[in-house]
């Protein structure tokens, strides 16, 4: 009998993904693992249990987590979930540990070994395991699609004999993986796109996608380690906020993607984005 892998159904009602697909199940089985997928784990991803069974997995229940050597999840396990895992089990998920120290302590108390997949080094050898880039890419795309639906008007310029409807103005804040995908998607839908980032080097990437890059002159460059942005000084925050407030008042859609590793994401206040 080989090592066992358990894939639970995500308990967060907002989470529609599942940690494995039938293709990855087949690979695990081929490597000698016994794979158990909780009943209806793939339901929200439109993967029925029969597809997992066809790939070689067994369909189980939540209590099977206690027998598994490896637990694969999307989101960090809750303290209640961690208590059900076998001591010494490996748990792989996006752990989001900052600000959730209690949950991390619960995993330690349960005696499991946790791997935070979002901390995977961004090196060539680990590219196929880069969960941040793959999911951020999808998030940037989905943000624009959802925004277009909420906007409830056409994004491209529409010209007919009856008149002209101007193109929607889309402003993307943050030009990392998610931001660049949001820019590309908005451009494909015909919007007029502008973007900002505190990293000066992002300007060329924004312009290569056909968008206009805006950045306050008071901010020279805020590139940090690993290609991420560093936290701004109070003076830089003020200058950036003034630029953003003035620009947002003229926009139809704003997509925010900026992140700072280990710190809360920058937030827009109502005062910042409300039109005068």
The whole-angstrom distance between residue 80's C-alpha and the CA centroid of its chain comes to: 25
Let me know if 225 is a catalytic residue. no
* Active-site pick, 75, 135, 228, 252: 228
Let me know if 98 is a catalytic residue. no
Q: Given its phi and psi angles, is residue 266 left (phi above 0), alpha (psi -120 to 50 degrees) or beta?
A: beta
For residues 174 and 212, what is the distance between their CA atoms, to the nearest angstrom? 13
* Active-site pick, 17, 96, 98, 127: 127
Let me know if 133 is a catalytic residue. yes
Let me know if 45 is a catalytic residue. no
Question: In the chain, how many H helices and how many E strands?
Answer: 9, 12
SS3 call for 224:
coil
For residue 199, what are its two tokens? 């990293």
* Active-site pick, 21, 44, 45, 133: 133
* Active-site pick, 12, 96, 98, 122: 122
* Active-site pick, 130, 142, 188, 223: 130
Strand ordering across the sheet containing 34-38: 58-60, 34-38, 4-7, 70-75, 90-94, 113-116
Let me know if 197 is a catalytic residue. no
CB 107 within 8 A of CB 82: yes
Structural Rg of the chain based on CA atoms:
22
Q: Report the catalytic residues.
A: 122, 127, 130, 133, 228
């Amino acid at each position: 009998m080989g090592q066992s892998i358990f894939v639970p159904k995500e308990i967060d009602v907002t989470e529609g993904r599942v940690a494995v697909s039938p293709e990855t199940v087949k690979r695990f089985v081929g490597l000698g693992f016994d794979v158990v997928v909780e009943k209806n784990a793939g339901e929200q991803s439109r993967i029925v249990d029969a597809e997992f069974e066809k790939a070689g997995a067994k369909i189980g229940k939540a209590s099977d987590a206690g027998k598994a050597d490896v637990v694969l999840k999307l989101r960090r396990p809750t303290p209640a979930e961690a208590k059900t895992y076998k001591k010494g089990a490996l748990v792989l998920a996006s752990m989001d540990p900052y600000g959730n120290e209690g949950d991390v302590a619960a995993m330690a108390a349960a005696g499991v070994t946790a791997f935070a997949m979002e901390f995977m080094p961004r090196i060539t050898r680990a590219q196929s395991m880069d969960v941040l880039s793959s999911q951020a890419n999808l998030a940037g795309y989905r943000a624009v699609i959802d925004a277009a639906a909420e906007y409830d008007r056409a994004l491209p310029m529409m010209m007919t004999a009856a008149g002209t409807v101007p193109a929607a103005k889309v402003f993307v804040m943050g030009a990392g993986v998610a931001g660049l995908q949001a820019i590309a998607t908005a451009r494909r839908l015909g919007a007029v796109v502008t973007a900002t980032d505190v990293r000066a080097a992002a300007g060329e990437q924004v312009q290569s996608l056909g968008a206009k890059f805006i950045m306050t002159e008071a901010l020279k460059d805020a590139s940090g380690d690993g290609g991420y942005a560093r936290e701004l000084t109070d003076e830089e925050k003020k200058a950036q906020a003034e630029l953003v407030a003035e620009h947002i008042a003229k926009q139809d859609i704003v997509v925010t993607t900026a992140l700072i590793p280990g710190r809360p994401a920058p937030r827009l206040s109502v005062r910042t984005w409300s039109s005068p």
